[in-house]
Amino acid sequence: MKKIEFLVETEILLNHLTWRLDGLSDLEKALIKGEVFTTVLNSAELISLMNSEIDRKLAIDVLSGIHVLGLPARYSLHVSEFFDKTKNINDSMFCVTANLNKLPILTKNLQKYTNCNVDLISTEELENL
């Protein structure tokens, strides 16, 4: 059985670091179901949101457990396909990465990427995959 692959947003990673509820975080559920990827931009954003050195180290530990994709220069050639469908350049590059790597985006907010013509998986669907 082939493992499912997910491209996760910063929100999924941040949620994992702040998870205080019983049960598994969405990131943990995704890791159980398959392979998890994010981008170097999401990684940088996550680390920049940390308020202390301890928090930064915890974020780096989480990032060490998933695949962090770089952004080759050629990806910029595809950004125009998405910049009018997303709120900012980071979201556009995230969609480019999903599209070129054929990775579905795992998100809490399907509306954010609805017009982007990329495969989407809601965090609510994780249990049923």
CB 67 within 8 A of CB 37: yes
H or E segment at 8?
Answer: strand 4-8
* pLDDT value for 21: 81
Per-residue pLDDT tens for 80-91? 999 899 999 999
Please state the domain extents for the chain. Answer: 4-128
For 76, list phi and psi in degrees, rounded to 5.
Answer: -65, -25
* Residues facing residue 71 across a β-bridge: none
Tell me the angle at which helices 53-64 and 10-17 cross, rounded to the nearest 10 degrees: 120
For domain 4-128, give the CATH superfamily.
5'-nuclease (3.40.50.1010)
Task: State the DSSP code for 2.
Answer: P
- pTM, entire model: 0.93
Per-residue pLDDT tens for 8-30? 999 999 999 998 888 999 999 99
For residue 87, give both structure tokens. Answer: 């709120």
Q: Tell me the one-letter amino acid at 87.
A: K
Task: State the DSSP code for 104.
Answer: P
